C-alpha cells in the first residue's frame, strides 16, 4: 500500500514559512518492511495505519482512529500530540481525549483536552519518578491509594465510553464510576494475585465529567475516554523518560498487555532527548541504547502485530552549557542507532534531525522562535511544525 520511502513535501517545514529563506530538503519517512520478506515485501510498517485511516474516512471503522504517542518531555506537555490531534480531528472528526493517566506521572505531564482533579491520599508512580517495586506502571504511570480518594476527569467534548486500566490484587478495594454524577459502574479489584485488569463502560450521551471514587487499596493506571468515531491521540509522554526506563521500570509483559488492550492503530515512539546528554557517540552506552530501543519496539510490535509503529528521531541539540555552544555530537549516532532498531523491528522511521536541518539547526530554530533557550524543547510554534509535518507524512497516500 505504501512504498519503502514516503517522500512528503512538507510545506509546514521550517523553510516553507518564508519563501525568502533557503528551501529545506524534502522530508522522508522510511516505511520499512514489517513482514521480514525484504525485496518481496508484502506488508510495510505503515500499512496498518493507512488501512485504519481509510476505514475511518469511509465510515466503516469499528472504533476511533487511535495513535499512542510514547515520548519524553518533548511531548509530555501535549503540544506536539495536541497539534496532531487537532489536525486529525479536522480530517475525520474528534474521537475524544484518548488515554489519560489516572494522575500525571510527573508534575509537568499535561493533557490539553482533559481537566483532571485529584482528591485524597494518592501515591503517584511514574517511569522517571518513583517506579513501584513490582514494575507495574500501566502505560507509564499509576496512582495508588489505601485510604480512598477521587479522580475526576472533565473532557472538552462528550465521550461515549470509558475503558479503565487498573491493578487487580490481593486485598484490593473497589471504585465506583460516575458520569455527570450518575453511577454507571462499581468495580471490585480483589484478586488472588497481581494482574492488569480493565473495565469498559458506556457513558450516557452528552456526559463530560467522569469520576472514579476509590475505597480501600486501589491502584489505577488511567483510562481511555473516547467517542464512537473520529481520531484520538494518546499523550504517553513522561518528563525525564528514557528508553531504558520504559523497558526496565515497566514490566515488558505488563506493557505489552496494556498496549494490546488499548489497541492503537499506530504507536509513535520519540525518545532520546535525555540520553543524548550523557551517552557518547561511540560508546557501549550507545550500543545499549540501540538494544533497549529494539526491545521496546519488539514489545510494541508484539502487542498489536497488525498495527503500525513509527520512530521519530531526536531533534538537534546545542550544548548551551559550553561557551562555544557546540552541537551535541551524540545526536547523529543516536539517530542512526534508532533507525537500525526501527528497521530491524519492522517500524517506520522519520529522521526529524535531518528534516530540521541537521547539525547546529537548533540555533536557527531558536532564532526563529521554534525552540526554547535550552536548544532542546520546541516552542508551541515548533511543536506545531513538527506535528504538521508528521500529519502530512501520515495522511499522504
The DSSP code sequence of 52-106 is: HHHHHHHT--SS-EEEEEEESHHHHTSHHHHHHHHHHHHHH-B---EEEESS-SS
Comparing 194 with 323, the larger pLDDT belongs to 194
CATH code of the domain in which 289 resides? 3.40.50.12700
Comparing 184 with 130, the larger pLDDT belongs to 184
Is there a domain that residue 280 lies in? yes
Residue 275 near residue 313, CB atoms below 8 Å: no
Rg (the chain; Cα; Å): 21
Is there a domain that residue 145 lies in? no
**What pLDDT does residue 6 have?**
46
Is there a domain that residue 26 lies in? yes
Q: Which of 16-20, 127-131, 303-307, 313-317 has the least mean pLDDT?
A: 16-20
Is there a domain that residue 107 lies in? no
Q: State the average pLDDT over residues 376-394.
A: 94
What confidence tens digit (pLDDT) does each residue in 339-352 have?
999 999 999 999 99
Is there a domain that residue 344 lies in? yes
Is there a domain that residue 312 lies in? yes
What confidence tens digit (pLDDT) does each residue in 284-334 have?
999 999 999 999 999 999 999 999 999 999 999 988 777 677 788 899 999
Separation CA 17–CA 275 (nearest Å) = 31
Residue 198 near residue 261, CB atoms below 8 Å: yes
Is there a domain that residue 283 lies in? yes
The average confidence (pLDDT) of the chain is 91
Q: Which three cell numbers stand for residue 60?
A: 466503516
What confidence tens digit (pLDDT) does each residue in 32-60 have?
888 766 667 889 999 999 999 999 999 99
**What pLDDT does residue 318 have?**
87
Distances (CA, A) of 273 to 128, 245, 266, 277, 305: 13, 13, 22, 7, 27
What confidence tens digit (pLDDT) does each residue in 143-162 have?
999 989 999 999 999 999 99
Farthest CA pair distance, the chain: 67
φ/ψ (deg, to 5) at 174: -145, 165
**What pLDDT does residue 38 have?**
60
**What pLDDT does residue 395 have?**
92
**What pLDDT does residue 327 have?**
82
Burial-class residue 161 by CB neighbours within 10 Å (0-12, 13-18, 19+). Answer: middle
Is there a domain that residue 40 lies in? yes
Residue ranges making up the domain that contains 354: 1-62+272-397
Residue 95 near residue 263, CB atoms below 8 Å: no
Query: Would you say the pTM of this structure is higher than 0.75?
Result: yes
**What pLDDT does residue 322 have?**
72
Q: Which of 9-23, 127-141, 244-258, 328-342 has the least mean pLDDT?
A: 9-23
User: How many domains does the chain divide into?
Assistant: 1
Amino acid at each position: 500500500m505504501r512504498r519503502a520511502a514516503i517522500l512528503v513535501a512538507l510545506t509546514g517545514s521550517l523553510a516553507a514559512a518564508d519563501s525568502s529563506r533557503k528551501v529545506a530538503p524534502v522530508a522522508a519517512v522510511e516505511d520499512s518492511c514489517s513482514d521480514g520478506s525484504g525485496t518481496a515485501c508484502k506488508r510495510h510498517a505503515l500499512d496498518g495505519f493507512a488501512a485504519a485511516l481509510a476505514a475511518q474516512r469511509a465510515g466503516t471503522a469499528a472504533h476511533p482512529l487511535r495513535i499512542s504517542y510514547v515520548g519524553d518531555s518533548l511531548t509530555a506537555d501535549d503540544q506536539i500530540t495536541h497539534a496532531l490531534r487537532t489536525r486529525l480531528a479536522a480530517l475525520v472528526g474528534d474521537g475524544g481525549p484518548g488515554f489519560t493517566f489516572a494522575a500525571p506521572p510527573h508534575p509537568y505531564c499535561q493533557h490539553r483536552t482533559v481537566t483532571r482533579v485529584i482528591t485524597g491520599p494518592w501515591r503517584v508512580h511514574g517511569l522517571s519518578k518513583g517506579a513501584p517495586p513490582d514494575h507495574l506502571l500501566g502505560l507509564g504511570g499509576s496512582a495508588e491509594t489505601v485510604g480512598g480518594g477521587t479522580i475526576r476527569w472533565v473532557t472538552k467534548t462528550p465521550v461515549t465510553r470509558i475503558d479503565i486500566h487498573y491493578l487487580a490484587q490481593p486485598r484490593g478495594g473497589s471504585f465506583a464510576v460516575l458520569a455527570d454524577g450518575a453511577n454507571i459502574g462499581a468495580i471490585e479489584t480483589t484478586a488472588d494475585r497481581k494482574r492488569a485488569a480493565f473495565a469498559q463502560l458506556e457513558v450516557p450521551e452528552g456526559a463530560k465529567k467522569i469520576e472514579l471514587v476509590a475505597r480501600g487499596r486501589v491502584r489505577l493506571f488511567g483510562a481511555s475516554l473516547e467517542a464512537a468515531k473520529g481520531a484520538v491521540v494518546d499523550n504517553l509522554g513522561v518528563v525525564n523518560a528514557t528508553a531504558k526506563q520504559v523497558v526496565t521500570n515497566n514490566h515488558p509483559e505488563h506493557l505489552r498487555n496494556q498496549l494490546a488492550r488499548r489497541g492503537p492503530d499506530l504507536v509513535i515512539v520519540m525518545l532520546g532527548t535525555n540520553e543524548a546528554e550523557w551517552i557518547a557517540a561511540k560508546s557501549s552506552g550507545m550500543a545499549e541504547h540501540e538494544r533497549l530501543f529494539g526491545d521496546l519496539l519488539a514489545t510494541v510490535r508484539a502487542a498489536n502485530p497488525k498495527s503500525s509503529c513509527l520512530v521519530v528521531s531526536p531533534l538537534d541539540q546545542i550544548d548551551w552549557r559550553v561557551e562555544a555552544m557546540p552541537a551535541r555530537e551524540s545526536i547523529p549516532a543516536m539517530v542512526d542507532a534508532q533507525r537500525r532498531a526501527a528497521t530491524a523491528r519492522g517500524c517506520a522511521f522519520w529522521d526529524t534531525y535531518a528534516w530540521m536541518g541537521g547539525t547546529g539547526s537548533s540555533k536557527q530554530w531558536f532564532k526563529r522562535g521554534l525552540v526554547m533557550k535550552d536548544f532542546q524543547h520546541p516552542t508551541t510554534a515548533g511543536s506545531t511544525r513538527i506535528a504538521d509535518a508528521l500529519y502530512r507524512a501520515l495522511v499522504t497516500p
